[in-house]
Chains A and B, each alone.
Chain A
Amino acid sequence: MLLQLRNIFKWVQQGGQRIFLLKDINLEVQEGEFISIMGPSGSGKSTLLNVIGMLDTFDEGEYDFLSESVHTLKEKYRSNLYKEYIGFVFQSYHLLDDLTVEENLEMPLLYKKIKSSERKALVADMLDRFNIVGKKDLFPTQLSGGQQQLVGVARALIGKPKLILADEPTGNLNSQQSEEIMQLFKKLNEEEGVTIIQVTHSEKNAEYGSRIINLLDGRKI
Chain B
Amino acid sequence: MFRTYLKVAWRNLKVNRLFSVINILGLSIGLAVTLTLFIYIRHEQSFDTMYPNIDNIQRVLLHTDGDNGQEIWATVPPSLGPTMMTDVANVKYAARTLKNDFGGTASLRVLQQNFTENNLFWVDAELLHIFDIPFIKGQAKGALDRPNTAVLSETTAKKYFGTTDPIGKTFTVDGRYELEVTGVYKDFAKNSTLDCNIMASGITTGFFKKRSWNNASFETYCLLKPNTDLASTELQLQEMLNKNMEKENQWYTFSLQAMKDVHLFSSGYDNAYASRIGDIKEVRNLIYLALLILLIACINYMNLTTARSQKRAKEVGISKTLGSSSSSLIIRFYMETGLVTLISLVIGVLLTSAAMPIFNAIMGQDLSTDLLLNFEFLISLLAIWLVVTLISGLYPALYLSRFKPVIVLKSSVVQSKGNVFIRKGLVVFQFAASVVLIVGVLMISEQMDFIRNQKLGFDAENVVAISINGIKGTDKKDALVSELKGLGNVSSVSLTQGFPGMEVSGRSLSRNEDDKESLNIQTNVTDASVIDVLQLKLLAGRSLPIFKQEKDTLIEVVLNKKAVDYLGYTPDEAIGKTIFISVPNTIVGVVDDFNFASLHEPIGAYAFHNNTGERKSFALVRYKIAASSTTINELETIFKNVAPNTAFEYSFLDNNLEKLYARERRAAKVGFVFSMLAIFIACLGLFGLAAFVGEQRKKEIGIRKVLGASIMGITQMLSKDFVKLVFIAMLIAFPVAYWLMNKWLSNFAFHVDMSYSVFIIAGISALVIALFTISFQSVKAALSNPVKSLRTD
Contacts and interface: CB of A to CB of B under 8 A. Distances in A.
Interface of A: 46, 50, 53, 55-56, 76, 79, 82-83, 88, 90-92, 94-98, 107-108, 111-112, 155, 159, 167-168, 171
Nearest to A84: B708
B791 interface: yes
A142 B266 CA distance: 69
Contacts of B704: 96, 107, 111
B792 A55 contact: no
Contacts of B707: 83, 88, 107-108, 111, 155
Interface bracket on B: 10 to 19
Interface in B44-101: none
Contact of A112 (B708, B713, B791): B708
Given A91-B792, A94-B703, A111 B709 contact: yes
A107 B705 CA distance: 11
A150 B708 CA distance: 20
Contacts of A171: 792
A111 B713 contact: yes
Given A55-B786, A111-B713, A79 B708 contact: yes
B785 interface: yes
6 contacts: A76-B710, A92-B792, A94-B699, A96-B704, A111-B704, A111-B709
B710 A79 contact: yes
Interface of B: 413, 699-700, 702-710, 713, 785-787, 790-792
A46 B787 CA distance: 10
Most buried by A among B707, B708, B710, B785: B707
Given A83-B708, A111-B713, A46 B703 contact: no
Given A79-B710, A111-B709, A55 B785 contact: yes
Contact of B787 (A56, A83, A95, A96): A56
A25 B396 CA distance: 50
Contact of A46 (B699, B705, B709, B791): B791
Nearest to A55: B787
A96 B702 CA distance: 10
B589 to A, nearest CB: 80
B779 to A, nearest CB: 14
Contacts of B713: 111
B715 to A, nearest CB: 14
A151 to B, nearest CB: 13
Contacts of A112: 708
Contacts of A94: 699, 702-703, 706, 790
A46 B702 CA distance: 16
B708 A108 contact: yes
Contacts, number: 49
Given A55-B787, A111-B710, 4 more contacts: A79-B708, A111-B709, A112-B708, A171-B792
Nearest to B415: A97
A52 B792 CA distance: 18
Nearest to B791: A46
A65 B787 CA distance: 19
A29 B786 CA distance: 24
Nearest to B783: A75
A50 B709 contact: no
A38 to B, nearest CB: 17
Given A90-B792, A92-B792, A96-B703, A111 B787 contact: no
B768 to A, nearest CB: 27
B708 A90 contact: no
A115 to B, nearest CB: 16
Would you list the 7 A-B pairs with minimal beta carbon distance, nearest first? A83-B708, A111-B708, A108-B707, A56-B787, A94-B703, A55-B787, A92-B792
A56 B791 CA distance: 12
B792 A56 contact: no
A58 B707 CA distance: 21
Contacts of B792: 90-92, 167-168, 171
A88 B706 contact: yes
Nearest to B709: A111
A97 B412 CA distance: 13
A97 B791 CA distance: 17
A91 B708 CA distance: 19
A50 B787 contact: yes
A18 to B, nearest CB: 19
Contacts of A79: 705, 708, 710
B346 to A, nearest CB: 39
Most buried by A among B413, B699, B703, B786: B703
Contacts of A155: 707
A143 to B, nearest CB: 16
Nearest to B793: A92
Contacts of A92: 792
A55 B786 CA distance: 7
Contacts of B710: 76, 79, 111
A92 B792 CA distance: 7
A98 B705 CA distance: 16
A89 B744 CA distance: 63
A64 B412 CA distance: 37
A96 B700 contact: yes
Contacts of B708: 79, 82-83, 108, 111-112, 159
Contacts of B699: 94
Given A55-B785, A96-B700, A90 B790 contact: yes
B706 A55 contact: yes
Nearest to A171: B792
B407 to A, nearest CB: 14
Contacts of A159: 708
A76 B704 CA distance: 15
B339 to A, nearest CB: 33
A97 B413 CA distance: 11
Contacts of A55: 706, 785-787
A171 B702 CA distance: 20
Contacts of A98: 700
B98 to A, nearest CB: 77
A95 B709 CA distance: 15
A76 B702 CA distance: 16
A77 to B, nearest CB: 12
Contacts of A83: 707-708
Nearest to A165: B706
Nearest to A57: B785
A46 B792 CA distance: 10
A149 to B, nearest CB: 13
Contacts of A167: 792
Contacts of A46: 791
A168 B792 CA distance: 10
Contacts of A53: 706
A155 B706 CA distance: 12
Nearest to B413: A97
B267 to A, nearest CB: 56
Contacts of A76: 710
Contacts of B700: 96, 98
Contacts of B790: 90, 94
Most buried by B among A79, A112, A159, A167: A79
Most buried by A among B706, B713, B786: B706
A94 B790 CA distance: 8
Nearest to A86: B706
A14 B786 CA distance: 22
A98 B702 CA distance: 15
Contacts of B413: 97
A55 B644 CA distance: 93
B703 A56 contact: no
A108 B785 CA distance: 18
A60 to B, nearest CB: 18
A107 B791 CA distance: 21
Nearest to B703: A94
Nearest to A98: B700
A53 B710 CA distance: 16
A56 B709 contact: no
A111 B709 CA distance: 6
B102 to A, nearest CB: 75
Nearest to A46: B791
